[in-house]
Amino acid sequence: MAIFVPEVAAPYLMKEIDKRLVISNAALDISADVPEIEWKGSEITFPVYSRVAVASQVDSKGSVTPTEIDGSSATAAIKHFAAAVKYHKDTLRQSGGPILQNMAITDLADAIALKLDADLMETAIAGATLKAACAEADAITQDELEAAFALFGDKQNANEFAGVYINSKLFPSLLAMDGFTATGLTYTTPNNGIVQGQCVGFYRGAPVWLTDNSNRSGSAPECKTLIVKHGGLGKARKAEPEFSEEYHATTFYTDVVADVYGAHKVLDDSKVVLLAKTITG
């Protein structure tokens, strides 16, 4: 009762997953650099680089002292992400293969993309060392957002930012900020507030992304906002998802299963800022 060709379905599913990712699009993808042998273990290695060079004025016939590059690395656990759906023989008879194919691929892509994004969001929140506090659990002010940006010091170039990732409960707060919607300011962007592809606009040139994935939790839920620069987060995935079908003759159901192995890491904690009411560490 198979309606999928795994060799065709797997790459198509991966494309559908990628279309649905939000914060994962901010991560540096090192998949191509991970040796196949590492995927057979429990961890993979992410390269970590810290700038160490220091420039100095050299007097006549003087010299400069080299600083050794820190060639250290960091490991991240390999995690197994999977999703499954099933359909009955009667459903196939009534609906037809193409409809079921589209429904299954869409459902599996949504589920896996949400899980991949959730894992990276949780990794980024846990690994952030630059933190700013806000007064309310489900609201944010422009001053609080500016205080978070200030943690980047003089490195606030718009093109360095992958984005600001906010929970939808903070959207009204954003719309109330002059720095986001006022038309008389040189650093606001036309059409801010109109959501397209999860992007709600730009704050001082940095894209603002809307996501409710694993950024509001706990016994007393509060929103956690991330400001991420390019190169701050890393991800790796083992090739394409594995895709399989299994028909159960006694129940007339067919299981459709997709799974993928991946890992996430904060590569540079100077490029990730967390903004939340409760700040620890």
For residue 96, is pLDDT > 90? no
Tell which wins on pLDDT, 218 or 103: 103
Q: In the predicted model, what is the mean pLDDT of the chain?
A: 91
Q: What is the mean pLDDT of residues 144-168?
A: 98
What pLDDT shows up at residue 99?
81
For residue 76, is pLDDT > 70? yes
What pLDDT shows up at residue 277?
95
Nearest CA-CA partner of 179 in 135, 144, 214: 144
**pTM > 0.75:** yes
Tell which wins on pLDDT, 66 or 20: 20
Please tell me the least confidently modeled range out of 45-49, 55-59, 165-169. Answer: 45-49
What pLDDT shows up at residue 51?
63
> CB 75: neighbour CB atoms within 10 A?
14
What pLDDT shows up at residue 49?
63
Confidence class for position 64, pLDDT limits 50, 70, 90:
confident
Percent of the chain with pLDDT over 90: 67
Confidence class for position 1, pLDDT limits 50, 70, 90:
low
For residue 71, is pLDDT > 90? no
Confidence class for position 30, pLDDT limits 50, 70, 90:
very high
What pLDDT shows up at residue 69?
66
What pLDDT shows up at residue 52?
66
What pLDDT shows up at residue 58?
86
Please tell me the least confidently modeled range out of 13-17, 127-131, 157-161, 175-179. Answer: 13-17
What is the Cα–Cα distance from 97 to 177, expressed in whole angstroms?
50
For residue 72, is pLDDT > 70? no
Q: What is the mean pLDDT of residues 54-73?
A: 77
Backbone angles phi, psi at 224, to 5 degrees: -120, 120
What pLDDT shows up at residue 117?
97
